[in-house]
Amino acid sequence: MARFCCLTLLLALTVPAFARSHNQKQPIRCGELWTAVSETLGDARNYNVVVLDNDGMKSNFVVVGGLFSAINLVQLKPTASGCDLRLRFGFTGADDEAAFRSRVNRALKKLYAAKASAQPVSGAAQ
């Protein structure tokens, strides 16, 4: 009985540590996200763009240096809560989807940093 109580107490304390809020991310507008995706795909060391449709916000591309050549797809769809990044990757021998997402996140951070530095500073000195 003591083991059961200890196990229950331990489980009750650890489960909230793995829980995550559904509202952690701020919604991203598709225009901002497409700018980051376009910048990511523009790196010729990582991707060869086959088709880039700016109006439809979708692109077909090939990962450079993959073991197997595959045409991949990225597409943005506006949703009520922001923008949905849809990816379809073929097998190339590596985790290209995670690499692509991290590169897009870095491009978004650069975009936000550039926006923050471009905003005028409002102060009392006039």
Quote the pLDDT of residue 23: 37
The answer to whether position 90 is within a domain reads yes
Predicted confidence band of residue 81 (pLDDT cuts 50, 70, 90): confident
Residue 100 in this model has a pLDDT that exceeds 80: yes
pTM higher than 0.95, yes or no? no
Predicted confidence band of residue 93 (pLDDT cuts 50, 70, 90): confident
Nearest to 100 by CA among 78, 67, 79, 74: 74
Residue 16 in this model has a pLDDT that exceeds 80: no
The answer to whether position 8 is within a domain reads no
Range of the domain at 104: 26-113
Taking the C-alpha atoms of residue 101 and residue 124, their distance in angstroms, rounded to an integer, is 41
Quote the pLDDT of residue 28: 87
- Looking at every residue in the chain, the average pLDDT score rounds to 82
Higher model confidence: residue 120 or residue 91? 91
The answer to whether position 100 is within a domain reads yes
With beta carbons less than 8 A apart as the criterion, state whether 44 and 64 touch: yes
The answer to whether position 125 is within a domain reads no
Helix (H, G, I), strand (E, B) or coil at 29: coil
Taking the C-alpha atoms of residue 60 and residue 71, their distance in angstroms, rounded to an integer, is 6
Nearest to 57 by CA among 74, 71, 79, 39: 74
Predicted confidence band of residue 7 (pLDDT cuts 50, 70, 90): low
Count of domains in the chain?
Answer: 1
